[in-house]
């Protein structure tokens, strides 16, 4: 199907596209919004350039897809508890998100997607890689698919946002990594390894290095060989695209079927982003029941 109200320019074969001809700070006609939703579902990651957004206008656009997730771990923009501040300062050596992952898989009902808006970017570097979990699943052998279908995985944010990860020692090392502790970090969520997308009904791998701890019914050691194989397979170049940030770029990705990796190749420079995480308001059930439907 062609687009009548927007221009869609693919970034790579498996995932990603730029959307041209839309000012996200203004009201968007329903016909154009329908096409943006379709482009989002078809491409998993959509990029809008040259946008001039406030926290309010970023949230207004996000509400076309769902309500905002309140993240207790990240610092937030003053007056906007649902807009996370994702920043790396020149003196910091680490950044946020420098491992392949999907956001907030540690809750029982994971979010729909994330919108990241660039306010300050380095002269070079600081790109974000994205990977299609549709492609990752579909390129597995039939035998591997059969093995994975009945498996569930245990997810938690304890190591990333628990007491040990947010203590004084961590805060002293890097201001940009000084996450706030929350009891939410201690919760456990169980999700299918192969998750059925609630809108497209396509199958996607749903495990990630940041928050997947082990396969249900197995130890960490027993799970590691299979999970590590899947992590390496997910990151194969043919599954990926790369977004080069510019000031005023907003990128929106589907957490249900895409992974991302924030490159840390801009030491001594500042990078500042505003992130809004969008909830999947239309889904009342948890992912454990999705594959049984």
- As annotated, the active-site residues are 101, 103, 260, 275
Assess contact for 278 and 251: CB atoms under 8 A.
Answer: no
Closest C-alpha among 16, 9, 238, 206 to residue 127: 16
Q: How far apart are CA 241 and CA 208, in angstroms?
A: 18
């Amino acid at each position: 199907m062609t687009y009548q109200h927007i221009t869609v320019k693919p970034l790579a074969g498996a995932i990603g596209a730029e959307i041209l001809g839309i000012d996200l700070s203004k009201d968007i006609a329903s016909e154009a919004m329908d096409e943006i939703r379709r482009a989002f579902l078809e491409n998993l990651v959509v990029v809008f350039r040259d946008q001039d957004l406030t926290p309010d206008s970023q949230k207004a656009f996000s509400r076309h897809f769902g309500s905002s997730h309140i993240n207790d771990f990240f610092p937030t923009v003053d007056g906007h508890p649902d807009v996370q501040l994702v920043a790396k300062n020149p003196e910091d050596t680490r950044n946020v998100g420098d491992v392949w992952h999907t956001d907030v898989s540690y809750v029982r009902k994971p979010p729909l997607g994330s919108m990241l808006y660039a306010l300050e970017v380095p002269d070079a570097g600081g790109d974000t890689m994205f990977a299609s979990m549709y492609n990752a699943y579909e390129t597995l052998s039939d035998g591997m698919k059969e093995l994975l279908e009945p498996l569930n995985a245990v997810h938690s944010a304890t190591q990333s946002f628990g007491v040990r990860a947010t203590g004084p020692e961590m805060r002293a090392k890097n201001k940009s990594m000084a996450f706030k502790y929350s009891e939410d970090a201690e919760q456990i969520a169980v999700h299918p390894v192969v998750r059925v997308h609630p809108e497209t009904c396509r199958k996607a791998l749903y495990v990630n290095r940041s928050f997947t701890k082990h396969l249900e019914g197995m130890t960490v050691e027993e799970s590691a060989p299979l999970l590590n194989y899947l992590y390496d397979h997910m990151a194969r170049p043919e599954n990926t695209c790369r977004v080069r940030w510019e000031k005023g770029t907003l990128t929106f990705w589907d957490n249900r079927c895409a992974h991302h990796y924030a490159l840390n190749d801009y030491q001594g420079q500042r990078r500042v982003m505003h992130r809004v995480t969008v909830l999947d308001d239309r889904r009342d059930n948890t992912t454990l029941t999705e594959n049984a439907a």
